[in-house]
A = this chain, B = another copy of it.
Amino acid sequence: MPPTAPSPMLVFQTLQAHQHTSALRAGIELKLFSAIAAGARTPEALAPICNASPKGLRVLADFLTTTGFLTKDAAGYALTPDSQLFLVESSPAYMGGMANFLFHPFMEEGLRSVTGAVVKGGTTLPAEGSVSDDNPVWVDFAKGMAPIMYPAAGAIAELTAGSGPLKVLDIAAGHGLFGVTIAQKNPAAHIHALDWKNVLAVAHQNAARAGVADRWHAIEGSAFTADPGADFDLVLVTNFIHHFDVPTNVALFQRLRATMKPGATLAILEMAVNDDRISPPGPALFAMTMLTSTAHGDAYSRAEIASMCTAAGLHSPTHHTVPNTDQTITLAVN
């Protein structure tokens, strides 16, 4: 409801927007969507399944109806196409696990002090914020965030997998989905995935599930210090450089160049902002997540990403939008 004349509604609604997050989180935690999918449609029918009170479920389900996650008629509540696909536990596209990452106490703590982060110019969390060594938040990330990365993983594989032997380095692999998808597409590809040990366990599971574990190799450690080997045809740096400042990323790219064959490709996945830094909305708002959870991270524009590549000695950067997302793939050549 954008107001035409000055109206207090935008201020008032924004001051209460956190309720939307809390309510969806409660729906996920109480498995409300799965219960409705199983056929319970009224607060009274849902109460024993969700182990909650009929009144509380009525208020929660009305809230989630008002905000577009459910529908309601005389027979009770029903799922929307979105909630059917993304919020029912048995769905392969279930996003409920994301809540474990987004609401990790560590992430929540960072968000609670936006004012402090603005004052400081970076996270008020200890040390390097979310990117500290072995932070268990990345296990939750690896487990929870994979569902929204399928389109990007497919797009990167489409651009880079090719058909012959391909030695791939997957930096900060997380859930491992990007490398795994390339291995699925190209039976001659070998993936070397680098991440902290606890995170690699999640990626390894995903590689095994995808049937590519025999061509998937783990390298434990930090992207900044581990020795990943050499002669790579393709290096993946996905959802990573936004955690760091420009000089750190240039140094990283230089380090990665040393592992690449001549003519090899560096593939970067980012939520790239436009040059105005206020569009598209997703990447523009994402800069705040980086401010509150990292010491020096940011949302970068395509021009800035290209410039980091060329500063590191890579050339011919090209940008590719992942269809139906706010994500940009940048390819640069060694």
Residues of A at the B interface (CB closer than 8 Å) are 1-3, 5-12, 14-26, 29-30, 50-60, 62-63, 65-69, 72, 81-82, 84-87, 93, 95, 98-99, 102-103, 111-112, 114-115, 117-122, 147-148, 276-279, 281-282, 284-285, 287-292, 298, 324
Contact = CB atoms under 8 A, between A and B. Distances in A.
Given A16-B285, A17-B18, A60-B114, 20 more contacts: A8-B86, A11-B24, A11-B69, A11-B95, A11-B98, A14-B24, A15-B25, A18-B22, A19-B285, A19-B289, A22-B111, A22-B114, A25-B115, A30-B118, A53-B120, A56-B291, A59-B298, A60-B118, A62-B284, A66-B281
Nearest to A286: B16
Nearest to A326: B9
A137 to B, nearest CB: 15
Contacts of A18: 17-18, 20-22, 111
A15 to B, nearest CB: 5
A115 B58 CA distance: 13
Given A6-B85, A66-B279, A279-B66, A56 B22 contact: no
Taken together, the copies of this chain in the complex come to 2
Given A17-B21, A288-B59, A81 B6 contact: yes
Contacts of A3: 82
A117 to B, nearest CB: 6
A51 B119 CA distance: 7
Contacts of A122: 53, 55-56
9 contacts: A1-B281, A3-B82, A7-B82, A10-B69, A19-B289, A30-B118, A53-B121, A55-B121, A72-B278
A24 B18 CA distance: 11
A41 to B, nearest CB: 14
- In the A-B complex, the 5 residue pairs with the smallest Cβ-Cβ separation, listed nearest first, are A53-B121, A56-B118, A18-B18, A26-B114, A18-B21
Given A72-B278, A111-B18, A118-B60, A12 B287 contact: no
B10 A82 contact: yes
A127 to B, nearest CB: 18
A6 B82 contact: yes
A54 B117 CA distance: 11
A324 B67 CA distance: 21
A1 B119 CA distance: 32
A221 to B, nearest CB: 30
Given A17-B20, A18-B18, A26 B118 contact: yes
A43 to B, nearest CB: 10
Contacts of A65: 278
Nearest to A13: B282
A14 B284 contact: no
Contact of A8 (B26, B121, B147): B147
B12 A148 contact: yes
